[in-house]
C-alpha cells in the first residue's frame, strides 16, 4: 500500500514536536527519502496529471509546516536565498537539481541585496533529500523539468525574505 500524505505529516509532527533544530531536520530528511522511494506515493502526487508549480498537500494547523509538491518546468536558476525565519527540505522526485550553497559576505541593508560567495555545489538526483536550516543560503538550478516534494517549516510564500547576490 502506498504511503500517504497523512503519514508523512504525522512523522513530521512527531519529530518536530520533539526537536525542530538541525537534528530534527535530519530525521525529517530521512523520512522524506523514504517517501521519495515509494513510487506509488510519487505517482499519486507528482504524476503526469500534475503540472502545478506549487501544490500544498498539507499544512499543519499548529506547527505550521507545509508539505508541498512542485513541478518546475523548463530551465531556471534561482537567486541565492534563504527562507527567512524558517527552514526547508528539498526532496528530488525526478529530474536533477544542481544546488549551490553560499556564505554571507555582507548582510542585506534596506533595498540593497546582501552579498554572498559560493561554498559548494552538488547534484540532487531522484530519491535524494537535503535540509536547509534557517539561514542556509542556497540556489537551485535546473536544465529541464524537475519534480520535488518539499517541506517548509512555514509557508514561505507568506514570508518576507531578503535578497542576495553574488559578490
Ligand atoms: Fe530554497
User: How remote is the CA of residue 76 from the centroid of ligand 1, in Å?
Assistant: 13
Ligand 1: distance of its center to the CA of 1 in Å? 31
Q: Cell 544546488 belongs to which residue? A: 99
Distance 65 CA to ligand 1 centre (A): 15
Tell me the CA–centroid distance for residue 117 and ligand 1, in Å: 16
CA gap 102, 2 in Å, rounded: 37
Kindly give the distance from the C-alpha atom of residue 83 to the centroid of ligand 1, in angstroms, as a whole number: 6
CA distance 17 to 127: 26
Which pLDDT tens digits describe the chain residue by residue (167 residues)? 689 999 999 999 999 999 999 999 999 999 999 999 999 999 999 999 999 999 999 999 999 999 999 999 999 999 999 999 999 999 999 999 999 999 999 999 989 999 999 999 999 999 999 999 999 999 999 999 999 999 999 999 999 899 999 99
Task: Calculate how far, in angstroms, residue 133's C-alpha sits from the geometric centre of ligand 1.
Answer: 10
Å from CA of 131 to ligand 1 middle: 10
- CATH superfamily of the domain spanning 5-166: Jelly Rolls (2.60.120.10)
Global pTM reads 0.95
From the list 42, 85, 93, the residue with the least C-alpha distance to 64 is 85
**Domain boundaries along the sequence of the chain:** 5-166
Largest CA distance in the chain: 51
What would the DSSP string read from start to end of 29-45?
Answer: HHHHHHHHT-HHHHHHH
Amino acid at each position: 500500500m502506498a504511503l500517504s500524505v497523512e503519514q508523512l505529516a504525522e512523522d513530521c509532527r512527531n519529530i518536530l514536536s520533539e526537536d525542530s533544530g538541525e537534528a530534527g531536520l535530519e530525521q525529517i530528511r530521512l523520512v522524506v527519502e523514504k517517501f521519495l522511494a515509494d513510487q506509488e506515493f510519487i505517482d499519486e502526487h507528482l504524476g503526469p496529471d500534475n503540472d502545478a508549480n506549487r501544490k500544498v498537500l498539507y499544512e499543519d494547523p499548529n506547527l505550521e509546516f507545509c508539505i508541498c509538491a512542485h513541478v518546475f518546468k523548463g530551465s531556471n536558476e534561482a537567486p541565492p536565498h534563504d527562507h527567512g525565519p524558517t527552514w526547508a527540505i528539498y526532496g528530488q522526485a525526478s529530474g536533477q537539481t544542481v544546488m549551490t550553497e553560499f556564505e554571507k559576505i555582507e548582510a542585506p541593508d534596506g533595498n540593497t541585496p546582501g552579498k554572498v560567495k559560493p561554498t559548494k555545489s552538488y547534484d540532487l538526483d531522484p530519491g535524494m533529500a537535503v535540509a536547509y536550516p534557517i539561514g542556509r543560503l542556497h540556489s537551485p538550478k535546473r536544465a529541464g523539468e524537475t519534480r520535488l516534494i518539499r517541506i517548509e517549516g512555514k509557508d514561505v510564500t507568506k514570508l518576507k525574505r531578503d535578497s542576495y547576490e553574488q559578490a
